[in-house]
Chain A
Amino acid sequence: MSRAEVFWINGPVLKAHSEGLFRMKEAVYVGRERLAAEVIRLDTGSITVQVFEDTTGLRPGAIIEGSGMAMAVELGPGMLGRMFDGLQRPLEAIAASQGDFVRAGVEVPNLDRDRRWRFTPLLKEGAAVVPGQVLGEVEETPAVKNRVLVPDGVSGELEWLAADEELRLEDPVARLRTSTGTHEISLLTRWPIRTPRRFAEQRVPNRPLLTGQRIIDTLFPIGKGGAGAMPGGFGTGKTVLQQTLAKWCDADVIVYIGCGERGNEMADIVSEFPRLEDPRTGRRLMERTMLIANTSNMPVAAREASIYTGITIGEYFRDQGYHVALFADSISRWAEALREISARLEELPAEEGYPAYLPSRLAEFYERAGNVVTLAGSEASLTAMVTVSPPGGDFSEPVTAHSRRYVKSFLALDRERAQARFYPAIHPLLSYSEYVLDTARWWQDHGGVRWAQRRERILSILQEQAQLARMVKIVGRDALPASQRLVLVCAEVMVEALLRQSAFSKVDRYCSPEKQSKMLELVDDFIRHAEQAVQQGVDPDLLLTLPVTRRLQRLGEDIANEELERFDELTHEVGHAFSSLAAGQTETPSQQVLPE
């Protein structure tokens, strides 16, 4: 292999003299400790590399050894349920070899070579096979079967296929006769992280990624195979929302990347996910989840690599015909890593010190999400949701601004809502989704009666509320006419009933589509009644004191997904409360009588 000798050291960036052949983005190893690194610049007689590990103590003269291969991940069973670092090294194994702290120079295999997997063949020997075709499967976890595929670019006749037997990663599983000779396949493959994997055809996302979060599913749906961003200042609940989506969304496989964030958060996922149950399959959430952790105090270059590692693994599962959801928290930390390396290379900065290629790198990343037909012809998708951490909560900064150009689902998190402990703190007037039309069709087919109209009505009431709030600031609420106060009342009830959702309440954290439809219907009903009542002269503010209004505002927490029949009672009660109002016999609003 090619060798080079280090002569220049600046943090994680090294320059080395070399006459040997190196390629751009080639994986290399530095020094006796064999630190993982990657070639990022080539000059005649010298190379520049970025090191993914701590370079403390590194001296000029250290030898860099080429690998002849691009930075790649290992693909095969053994990833789900586990946590890896940004270079896909299993943190469990690192702990076993290094103890409680992560140190430089660790050499552990990315995937366990010794573990045996029960293989089930799904084809017959002699069959003609094409790229992406499923040869057989192993049960990676009880929730997900890992399908063994014919590699991209290989087709021919299946000469031999392993029987129903226990296999290790590197054991041969199949042999193909191709036009150029024979091709042996094992459970383990490799793929360069910066190269997207191929598929047969891409389609526009045509159904929602159901998240169980009302404000998302109802107002700002995420398309399966789409890309979305969640920007928000610190403390607005990005991470909690991101984790909530990772828990309850209806994807088959979850890739969760902690990119430059807190160590305690990753520890929290590891301790919580194995205890939670997927509401659709009843399996443990951890069985469909793989984690990548590059915490904020881990080496910065590995943070840059971590999102590519994650999305490549996401594509691997997508190619098996799964709907994959990838979550990266936060893309801003990735961009900062890019900026730091760029600064050390003394590249000319563009906006706010970020390199000029930031937008194109962002675009490349977001475009790896997609709703596709795999090489083998099955429908699959990879959805990418990222959080953005804009400095000072300012959405005009480069990472937010450029992300907006490529994502179709934009969930803006609002500091004021978060401060009032109103979660999820998604600002309904600053957020948007371009997946509404396609999603409306899905809801139509799945019991969401008049979903699109109801959604529009909610948004228009919220819009009106925002305008009226400005009026109130000038003239006071009591000075508004009844019809306008009615809008405020409806908005308040709707916001509390539908948009507020507690991620920590066992009942409320996941809201099934059926329950969402019911809630939407009920709130719609309330608004209709309220309009009639106010027309008949009832004071809108009186509506807020009705006991049934309070019940409506606590729907999420008080009625479980399994108790949908209670909605019928409530509908009845709403009707009853309003007819009593009309008859002039108001119910006693609350136990306590207001002092006059």
Chain B
Amino acid sequence: MMDPRQHILHRGLTSIRGPLIFMRNAEGVGLYDRVEVLPSEQDDPRLGRVVSISGTTAVIDVFQGTEGLSLTGSRLRLLPEPILLSVGPGMLGRVYNGVGEAIDGGPSIVAEQRMRIDGEAINPMRREVPSEFIETGISCIDAMNSLVRGQKLPIFSGSGLSHDRLAADLARFARLRASPDLKFAVVFAAIGVTFDTAERFRSEMDEHGAMERIALFLNLASDPSAERLLTPRVALTAAEYLAYHEGRHVLVILTDMTNYCEALREVSSSHGEVPSRKGYPGYMYSDLATIYERAGRIMGKPGSITQVPILSMPSDDITHPIPDLSGYITEGQIVLDRELERRSVFPPIKLLPCLSRLMNQGIGKGMTHADHPAFAQQLYSSYALARQLRLLSSVVGEEGLSKADRRLLHFGNRMDREFIHQEDQRRSLEETFDIGWTLLAELPDESLIRLSDAQIAEHVTPRRDDTAVTLQD
């Protein structure tokens, strides 16, 4: 039976402030109920949601702008249900707006079911531990910060850095090592990015014939900012349908989460909430968690959701609340570096602050290579030393360094040029290992503390003969 309230067009708007509408006579309205706002008789409805209730007055967040609304001329339709997304077969290969309506001129999605866009928390007892190694073709990720299915691994970037290019490479390259998989899909959510960014991603995918595996959700910079609060949720709801109902392995790219957080701050301040750091609301951690935690695998279900959110760090500051809170929720991070970008290293990945928390579950014997963990540890520890020495040499000069230190310095430079830098070429894990071991062969045994004697004998010593050490005193 239809709820009678669905047909009632409410008038009672008492005030409109920024993205908020206050209404009276809101009998029977429920928290987070969906609201359709009709600016006037002829206009399309805009999406809103009840956010607080006091007696018969209610506050409504309007996601698609309050421009043109009036207290007397506009109407509200209150629906006794949360915001839902219609999902069904044929969602891939399509383009949607920020609230999940198809905008590519094609037919609308035949709704097999309607899912709550807010999602629900996966019961930790039902979570499958992510452990399937994904070969992304990118050395810094595969060897050093391995990605596994069901992980959430963001890219911390900055304005003007090539994160979009990296994301497109990831979407094209990523596959399981065991079998090329047909059930692979990409959900791309553009959150307040420019048209160019979204279009470039789309055409890149199109060029490589990947478009039929992709669903694009677009909230562009020109779209209402409050709508950005819905876009990642809508995209993830589609991803959950693709993963848990169609059994696909979905890679979700959310770009740019910084725009999402800005929108959150904007709406929070219009609510008059007490701000926390830098004006962002105190609940931003929990709010971001409701997005990021939707990555994962569920026991007994064939699909998975792997998230690669992209965020641009304001002023390249990793301690800014947006990257900071994200880093506390996500399972690691890939950090991009302006200095490497300037030196035309692509991908410009700043290795030291990068991390993949789930790496150890997906690598090693039987998965990648038994010596993979030690390999990554050794590269990391030597590279960290090399970076310190680079700093030191800029003060005391290279001549002030000992011979052993100069070798390390040299090793570090080669890491940047040969290991990190790879253009848009996909590298197999074996190729990556080979480059890494060859670089390590430049260092003497006493610098390779993280490797066992056996590992040195197997991988390093054989590569030493063809390593021409050309250091000058």
Specify whether A and B are partners.
yes
A residues in contact (CB < 8 Å) with B: 7-11, 55-61, 83, 91-92, 94-95, 98-103, 233-235, 239, 258, 260, 262-264, 266-268, 270-271, 293, 295-298, 300, 333, 336-337, 339-340, 343, 349, 352-353, 389, 391-394, 415, 418-422, 472-479, 496, 504, 541, 544-545, 547, 549-550, 553-554, 557-558, 589-592, 594-596
B444 in contact with A234 (CB, 8 Å): no
Whether A234 touches B328, Cβ cut-off 8 Å, given contacts A56-B82, A57-B31, A391-B321, is: yes
- Scan residues 1-59 of chain B and give those whose CB is less than 8 A from a CB of chain A: 28-33, 52-56
Q: Are A353 and B274 in contact (CB under 8 A)?
A: yes
**A267-B124, A349-B274 are contacts. A479–B400 as well, Cβ < 8 Å?**
yes
Please measure, in the bound complex, the distance between the C-alpha atom of A234 and the C-alpha atom of B327, giving whole angstroms: 6
Decide if B381 touches A56 in the complex (CB within 8 Å).
no
How far is it, in angstroms, between the C-alpha of A100 and the C-alpha of B298 when the chains are bound?
A: 7
Residue pair B400, A297 in contact (C-beta under 8 Å): no
Cβ-defined contact, B283 with A592, below 8 A:
no
A-B contact pairs, 7 of them (CB 8 A): A94-B123, A101-B120, A296-B285, A296-B289, A420-B384, A558-B452, A589-B444
Contact check, B327 vs A478: say whether CB atoms are below 8 A apart. no
Given contacts A300-B283, A419-B352, 8 further A-B contacts (CB under 8 A): A8-B53, A102-B120, A234-B324, A263-B121, A297-B289, A353-B276, A474-B396, A544-B446
- B283 / chain A contacts, CB cutoff of 8 Å: 300, 336, 340
Q: Point out the residues of chain B lying under 8 angstroms from A8, CB to CB.
A: 53-55
State in angstroms the CA–CA spacing of A472 and B33 once bound together.
Answer: 64
B469 CB–A CB distance under 8 Å: yes
Bound-state CA distance A395–B43 (Å) is 53
Complex formed: what's the CA distance from A592 to B82 in Å? 69
Q: List residues of chain A with CB within 8 A of the CB of B329.
A: 262, 296
Of the candidates B52, B127, B324, B446, which one forms a contact with A264 in the assembled complex, judged by CB atoms under 8 Å apart?
Answer: B127
- CB-based contact B380/A421 at 8 Å: yes
Kindly state the separation between the CA atoms of A592 and B446 in the bound complex, as whole angstroms: 10
Q: Say whether A91 contacts B32, CB under 8 Å.
A: no
CB-nearest residue of chain A relative to B389? A477
Q: A95-B125, A352-B276, A477-B405 are in contact. Are A420 and B120 (CB under 8 A)?
A: no
List the B side residues contacting A420 at CB < 8 Å. 352, 380-381, 384-385
Task: Say yes or no: B353 contacts A235, CB within 8 Å.
Answer: yes
**Cβ of B251 to closest chain A Cβ, rounded Å:** 17
* B332 CB within 8 Å of chain A: yes
A550 near B150 (CB under 8 angstroms)? no
Contacting pair B332 A235 (CB below 8 A): yes
Give the segment of B99-107, B191-199, B210-218, B354-362 that binds chain A.
Answer: B354-362
Shortest C-beta distance, A345 to chain B (Å), equals 11
Q: Is B69 an interface residue (CB 8 A)?
A: no
For A59, give its contact among B28, B128, B333 (CB under 8 Å).
B28
- Residues of B443-473 at the interface with A, using a CB-CB cut-off of 8 Å, are 444-446, 449, 452, 461, 464, 469, 471, 473
Query: A553 — which chain B residues lie within 8 A by C-beta?
Result: 449
Question: A101–B123 contact, CB under 8 A?
Answer: yes
By the criterion CB–CB under 8 Å, are B396 and A392 in contact?
no
Asked whether, in the complex, the Cβ of A393 is within 8 Å of the Cβ of B319, the reply is: yes
Q: Which residues of A contact B298 (CB under 8 A)?
A: 100
Which A residue sits closest to B472, measured CB to CB? A595
Q: Which residues of A contact B401 (CB under 8 A)?
A: 476-478
Given A263-B124, A297-B121, are A472 and B392 neighbors across the interface (CB < 8 Å)?
yes
A352, B123: Cβ atoms under 8 Å? no
Within 8 Å by CB of B52, from A9, A589, A595, A596, lies A9
Complex CA gap A101/B290 in Å reads 13
A393 to B319, CA, bound (A): 8
Tell me, in angstroms, the Cα distance from A8 to B446 when the chains sit together.
Answer: 68
- B293 lies within 8 A of chain A by Cβ: yes
Q: How far is the CA of A591 from the CA of B449 in the complex (A)?
A: 15
Cβ–Cβ contact B324 & A595, under 8 A: no
The answer to whether A235 and B333 touch across the interface, beta carbons within 8 angstroms, is: yes
The yes or no answer to B331 lying at the interface (CB within 8 A) is yes
Q: Which of B292-308 contact A (CB under 8 A)?
A: 293-294, 296, 298-299, 301
Measured in the bound complex, the distance between the Cα atoms of B358 and A553 in whole Å is: 27
CA distance A550 to B82 in the complex (A): 63
The answer to whether B452 and A557 have CB atoms under 8 Å apart is yes
Work out how many contacts link A and B, with CB atoms closer than 8 A: 242
Taking a contact as CB atoms closer than 8 A, the residue among A103, A270, A296 that contacts B286 in the complex is A296
**Cross-chain contact of A297 among B286, B325, B361 (Cβ < 8 A):** B286
Q: Can you name the residue of chain A whose Cβ is closest to the Cβ of B456?
A: A591
Which residues of chain A come closer than 8 Å to B321, judged between CB atoms?
391-392
Q: Are A336 and B286 in contact (CB under 8 A)?
A: yes
In the complex, the answer to whether A473 meets B395 with C-beta atoms within 8 Å is yes
- A389-B328, A545-B444, A549-B446 known; A421-B124 Cβ under 8 A: no
Residue of A479, A558, A592 near B464 (CB, 8 A) is: A592
The 6 A-B pairs of least Cβ separation, nearest first, read A476-B400, A420-B384, A392-B319, A296-B289, A234-B327, A267-B127
Contact check, B55 vs A504: say whether CB atoms are below 8 A apart: no
Residues of B within 8 A of A496 (CB): 449
CB pair A264 B277 closer than 8 Å: no
Instruction: Determine whether B403 belongs to the interface, using a CB cutoff of 8 Å to chain A.
Output: yes
CA distance A59 to B327 in the complex (A): 36
Nearest chain-A residue to B356 (Cβ)?
A235
Give which listed residue, B80, B328, B400, B461, contacts A478 with CB less than 8 A.
Answer: B400
Q: A547 — which chain B residues lie within 8 A by C-beta? A: 445
Check A592/B444 contact, CB under 8 A, given A300-B283, A419-B353.
yes
> In the assembly, what is the distance between CA of A260 and CA of B289, in Å?
9
Residue of B nearest to A348 (CB): B274
Q: Whole-angstrom distance from the CB of A5 to the nearest CB of chain B?
A: 11
Q: How far is the CA of A5 from the CA of B355 in the complex (A)?
A: 50
| Residue of B with least CB distance to A554 | B449
Per-position binary interface string of chain B over residues 354-396, scored 1 when its CB falls under 8 Å from any chain A CB and 0 otherwise: 0101101100000000000100110011001100000010011
Distance between A558 CB and nearest chain B CB, rounded to angstroms: 7
Provide the residues of chain A in CB contact with B339, threshold 8 Å.
none
Check B402 for interface membership: any CB of A closer than 8 A: yes
Which residue of B has the minimal Cβ distance to A557?
B452
Whether B395 and A474, one on each chain, are in contact in the complex, defined by CB atoms closer than 8 angstroms, is: yes
Take A260-B286, A264-B296, A340-B286 as given contacts and tell me if A9 and B53 are in contact as well, using a CB distance cutoff of 8 Å: yes
A-side contacts of B244, CB under 8 Å: 100
Query: In the complex, A117→B28 CA distance in Å?
Result: 49
Distance A295 CA – B56 CA, assembled complex (angstroms): 34
A476 touches B121 (CB 8 A): no
Residues of A contacting B282 in the complex (Cβ-Cβ under 8 angstroms): 336, 339-340, 343, 353
B384 touches A421 (CB 8 A): yes
- CB atoms of A590 and B400 under 8 A apart: no
Q: Which residues of B contact A557 (CB under 8 A)?
A: 452
Which chain A residues border B331 with CB–CB below 8 Å? 262, 264
Q: Least Cβ distance of A81 to chain B in Å?
A: 12
Contacts of A391 in B (CB 8 A): 277, 319, 321, 324-325
Give the docked Cα–Cα distance between A338 and B306 (Å): 31
Q: Is the CB of A7 within 8 A of B54?
A: yes
Complex CA distance for A83 and B33, rounded to whole angstroms: 33
Tell me if B111 counts as interface (CB < 8 A to partner A).
no
What is the chain B residue whose CB lies nearest that of A394? B319
A residues within 8 A CB of B464?
Answer: 591-592
B73 close to chain A: CB less than 8 A: no
**Using Cβ atoms and an 8 Å threshold, which residues of chain A touch B273?**
343
- The interface residues of chain A lying within 8 Å CB-to-CB of B319 are 233, 391-394
A234 to B357, CA, bound (A): 11
Contact between B52 and A100, CB atoms less than 8 A apart: no
Residue of A nearest to B373 (CB): A504
B157 smallest CB distance to A (angstroms): 17
B121 x A102 contact (CB < 8 A): yes
Q: Does B126 contact A (CB under 8 A)?
A: yes
Q: A83-B124, A475-B396 are in contact. Are A59 and B30 (CB under 8 A)?
A: yes
B130 at the interface (CB under 8 A from A): yes
B residues in contact with A340, CB < 8 Å: 282-283, 286
Contact flag A297-B128 (CB < 8 Å), given A352-B277, A553-B449, A554-B449: no
Q: CB < 8 Å: which of A56, A263, A339, A591 contacts B461?
A: A591
B89 contacts A by Cβ under 8 Å: no
